[in-house]
Structure 1
Amino acid sequence: MPHQQHVTLVVTHHLAPGQEQAYEAWLKRIMPDAATFTGHLGVNVIRPSGSEQAYTVLVRFDNLDNLYRWIHSPQRVQYIEQVTPLLLGSDHIEIRPGAEFWFTPPSANVRTPAKWKQFLITLLVIFPSTNLVPWFWSQLLPGLSGSLAGHLLNDASVVALVVFLWMPLVTRQFHQWLTRH
């Protein structure tokens, strides 16, 4: 995997019964510390739904080197020691390149969504974004419409909205439907 590619640390935690409140408090402590590391791009937490009792935490970094600095930092090691008593086992981590984590199930018990469902969810996010963002920027900065700078601004805005806002929200909202047989 190239060191310049965005990466996502996918952490799966299966909590011991009754540890939800302590785990949520732990999340509130670790997330701001992770955000102070160079290259940190954000965190999404997928909380348990239905019969699935696993938390999945997605921590994004701008490259693999910066992610490794976080993974091997004394702060993270200390946080892992704190959370271990709250878990049914050890934490399970994976490192995923790019944005493929959107449709990666949090555990082996959950199916990867059908490609047609992935297509529909992606279209649901991309179609309005690619229509509304250019309209928004043309209203705000009419002089950029049709120019290379205008296209760059539109594309950058759409990608940022999709990666950091819409896909995490939509995949969480449609999780049940995506993973249904």
Structure 2
Amino acid sequence: MINPQQANHVTLVITHSVQPGKQSDYEAWLELIMPQAAQFPGHLGVNVLRPVHGENTYTVLIRFDNLDNLFKWTQSAERKTLIATLPAMLAAPEHTEVRPGAAFWFTPVDKAKPGPARWKQFLLTLAVIFPSTLLIPQLVDALLPMSRGTLWGHFLDDACVVALVVWLWMPLLTRLLRNWLIPRR
């Protein structure tokens, strides 16, 4: 159970194993529930990792600014109504986990499988952070020269880097490099 007293950037990691032939129904269900989650305070975004290689497992990552706001969403009447329609589409009960920060990027969907080696996590994170921290400050300085050397300019640089990492690079690269991160056996 989620403890609503804790406060931290959190991600709800939901794993759904969809029945064969029900993927279009499930995709339609996602199109209903994702905008509803976005209406709640503190919603920071959602990523859907769709099945590959003929698998049927979806992983949905829903980020909130703190645990209280995530709790409000998970306990909402809107979510409960849509969740009630879900079992008819699933081959197994849904699995949910709450993860602080960005720890979810390297969590394998199947808990029986090991996560990626630490050196792979390091290399991928470095490959994302290094060019971002080189290019973003130059771009911000070019667009807003008055920000150079200021606290708010540094904050803007960092905010842009984090936004790119969380919403673009890590979802894209962990999906593209999935077989390298966690080889299929």
Under TM normalisation by the shorter chain, which class is it?
Answer: over 0.9
Moved more, 57-66 or 142-151: 142-151
Structure-2 residue corresponding to 1:121: 124
In structure 2, runs of 5+ residues without a counterpart are none
Counterpart of 2:142? 139
Please report the TM-score for the alignment, with normalisation by the length of structure 2: 0.92
Give the match for residue 172 of structure 2: 169
What's the CA shift for 1:146? 2.1
Q: Is residue 66 from structure 1 mapped to residue 74 from structure 2 by the alignment?
A: no
The answer as to whether partners of 2:20 and 2:56 remain within 8 angstroms in 1 is no
TM-score (norm 1): 0.94
Partner of 1:165, secondary structure, is helix
Q: CA deviation at 1:75?
A: 1.1
Equivalent AA in structure 1 for residue 151 of structure 2: L
Residues of 2 paired with 1:18 and 1:111: CA distance? 30
How many angstroms does 1:164 deviate by? 1.9
Q: CA RMSD, aligned part only? A: 1.5
- Structure 1 unmatched ranges of 5 or more: none
Which residue, out of 10, 13, 27, partners 1:10?
Answer: 13
Pick the aligned partner of 2:39 from 36, 40, 61: 36
Shift of 1:109: 4.5
2:55, 2:103 → 1: CA distance? 21
Cα pair 2:19 2:56 within 8 Å, conserved: no
The one-letter code matched in structure 1 to 2:86 is V
Please state whether the residue corresponding to 1:5 is helix, strand or coil. Answer: coil
Percent identity over paired residues:
55
- Number of paired residues? 181
Moved more, 33-42 or 142-151: 142-151
CA distance in 1, matches of 2:143, 2:182: 40
Deviation of the 1:13 alpha carbon: 0.5
> Which deviations, in whole Å up to 9, do the C-alpha atoms of 1:80-111 show, x marking residues without a partner?
11111110121111111111001011122443
Which amino acid is the alignment partner of residue 48 of structure 1? P
Once residues 139 and 89 of structure 1 are traced to their aligned partners in structure 2, the CA distance between those partners, rounded to angstroms, is 52
Could you say what secondary structure the match of 2:98 adopts?
strand
C-alpha displacement of 1:51: 5.3
> Which letter does structure 1 place at the counterpart of 2:141?
S
SS of equivalent residue, structure 1 residue 82 = coil
Worse-superposed segment, 130-139 or 100-109: 100-109
What is the letter of the counterpart of residue 8 of structure 1? T
Mapped to 1, the partners of 2:153 and 2:81 lie a distance apart of: 46
Instruction: Decide whether aligned partners of structure 1 residues 151 and 120 sit closer, same or farther in structure 2, where only a CA change above 3 A counts.
Output: same
Determine whether 1:92 maps to 2:95. yes
Which residue of 93, 106, 110 maps to 1:107? 110
